[in-house]
């Protein structure tokens, strides 16, 4: 050997970090979900909006769209992309104004940004809408969320 000893290659054989596969899976799910948004964004047969025959299919389409938006909110929260999660939460509330998951996402994002007053305001507005328009009380999760915010102040 010219170098006077065995050749040592500099390489890392340590296993990849545990976080990387999860991040890759989250990114793949997010990209698939975003691709589906363009499909679900349109209403089901908009030219026949008053046709009762298609009402069950239209509801199923709207439900799938809402579920897709909720999945995107969760994926963006997991990826720590709170602005994108907030954007999809607002879009979800535009489609389904009584969606508690979207409100919880908005509150979570505002808490991550240090805006506890905004988080409480968001909860107040949603509870007011539930009481006035639907005659319902908020769910246990929202009540627990409110008490945890108030206790942390």
d(CA 81, CA 25): 15
Residue pLDDT, tens place only, 106-134:
999 999 989 999 999 999 999 999 899 98
| Range list of H helices, 96-139 | 100-112, 116-129
Contact present, 145 and 123 (Cβ < 8 Å): yes
Residue 12 is classified by DSSP as -
Greater pLDDT, 116 or 2 = 116
How far the first Cα of the chain sits from its last, in Å, is: 70
For 24, the token pair is 């890759």
Residue partners of 32: CB distance under 8 A and separation at least 6: none
Contact present, 101 and 92 (Cβ < 8 Å): yes
Residue 152 is predicted with a pLDDT of 83
Residue 114 is classified by DSSP as T
d(CA 63, CA 49): 16
d(CA 150, CA 139): 17
Closest CA to 150 of 117, 122, 125: 117
**What structural domains and CATH numbers belong to the chain?**
20-152 (1.25.40.10)
Residue pLDDT, tens place only, 33-60:
776 666 655 555 566 666 677 778 778 8
Q: 25: helix, coil or strand? A: helix
């Amino acid at each position: 050997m010219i170098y006077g000893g065995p050749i040592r290659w500099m390489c890392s054989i340590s296993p990849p970090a545990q976080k990387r596969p999860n991040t890759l899976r989250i990114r793949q799910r997010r990209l698939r979900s975003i691709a589906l948004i363009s499909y679900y964004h349109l209403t089901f047969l908009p030219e026949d909006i008053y046709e009762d025959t298609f009402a069950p299919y239209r509801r199923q389409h709207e439900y799938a769209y809402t579920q897709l938006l909720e999945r995107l909110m969760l994926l963006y929260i997991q990826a720590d992309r709170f602005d994108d999660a907030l954007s999809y939460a607002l879009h979800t509330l535009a489609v389904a104004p009584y969606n508690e998951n979207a409100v919880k996402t908005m509150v979570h994002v505002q808490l991550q940004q240090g805006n506890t007053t905004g988080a409480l305001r968001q909860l107040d507005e949603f509870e007011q809408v539930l009481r006035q328009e639907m005659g319902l009380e908020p769910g246990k999760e929202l009540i627990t969320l409110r008490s945890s915010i108030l206790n942390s102040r």
